[in-house]
Structure 1
Amino acid sequence: MNGMTIVWIVVAVAVLVILAALVAVAVSRRSERRAEQEAYEHEEQARAGAAQAEKQAAIADEVEARARKAQADADEQAAKAHRLAAGATERRDAAEQARAVSEEHRSQAQNLWPDDGSRNREGQPVDPNWDDGTHPHDPRHARHSKHD
């Protein structure tokens, strides 16, 4: 082998090493770009996911506010129903007392009414004139009227 052949072999090996280095750099750059692209896509997905999460949180807050308002309305209606029920109970008690007083007055009136045979055993009038106000003992009779 002469000197020139050795030089050509060394030059060829150097060229091959340089080509291999260039290919390696190109592959490395392509790999970096691909990694950057994937990182960018993941970042975009993260932003979209965060935006979606924010939107869902806002909707949840709105629904929760409506639920609180509905609960407040329901509580108000329950309180109103309770007040109305208490009022009805008071009125029912007052009606019962008025009924008892009325019954007491009716009983006293029957006891004081003269027994002239115009009433049956239950205290009901037996005279047909009683129903139309013409009976002399009927408070509706002209004799009992305050307008005379």
Structure 2
Amino acid sequence: MGGMTILWIVVALAVLVIVVALVAGAMSRVSTRRAERQRQEAHEHEQQARTSAMHAEKQQAAADEVDARARKAQAIADEKAAEARRLAAGADERREAAAEARTESDEHLTRARDLRPEETRAPEDGADDWTDGSHPHDPRHPRHSPH
């Protein structure tokens, strides 16, 4: 081998080393850019995650508030329903008492008529006839006061 051949082999090896170094450097820069892009993208996703988490917390707080108001409204409705049942039961008791009082009144009127057989017709002025609700203790009377 001549001196020239060795020189060309050395030059070829040097060029090859330089080309490999350039390719490696280019690959490194591409890899660095890709890593930087991925870091930036990861940072953006983290920011979006924080924003989404804050939004979710606000939505949860609003949902909790609405739920609390709904529970309060339901409690009030339950209380009102219980009061309505108590009032209805009281009204039923008063109706029963009024019916008993009317029955007792009718029995007394019948007994009074039986004791006075000569008076078969009702008084003309209606003074003793309380069946029209005009008696002050009758619940239908405008000035009736509950006992």
Under a length normalisation based on structure 1, what TM-score does the superposition of the two structures give?
0.73
Is 1:69 aligned to residue 67 of structure 2? no
Which residue in 2 is equivalent to 1:60?
A: 63
Structure 2 unmatched ranges of 5 or more: 129-147
Which residue in 1 is equivalent to 2:51?
A: 48
Instruction: Count how many residue pairs are aligned between Structure 1 and Structure 2.
Output: 125
- Residue identity matched to 2:109: R
C-alpha deviation, 1:36, in angstroms: 0.9
- Residue identity matched to 2:79: E
The one of 16, 21, 27 aligned to 1:18 = 21
Q: Which runs of 4+ in 1 moved over 3 A?
A: 3-7
- Residue identity matched to 2:73: A
Which residue in 2 is equivalent to 1:35?
A: 38
Q: Evaluate the alpha carbon distance shift between residue 34 and residue 57 of structure 1 in structure 2; reply closer, same or farther with a 3 A threshold.
A: same
C-alpha deviation, 1:97, in angstroms: 1.3
Structure 1 unmatched ranges of 5 or more: 139-148
* Aligned-residue CA RMSD (Å): 2.3
C-alpha deviation, 1:86, in angstroms: 0.9
Under a length normalisation based on structure 2, what TM-score does the superposition of the two structures give?
0.73
Which residue in 2 is equivalent to 1:131?
A: 125
Identity, in percent, stands at: 51
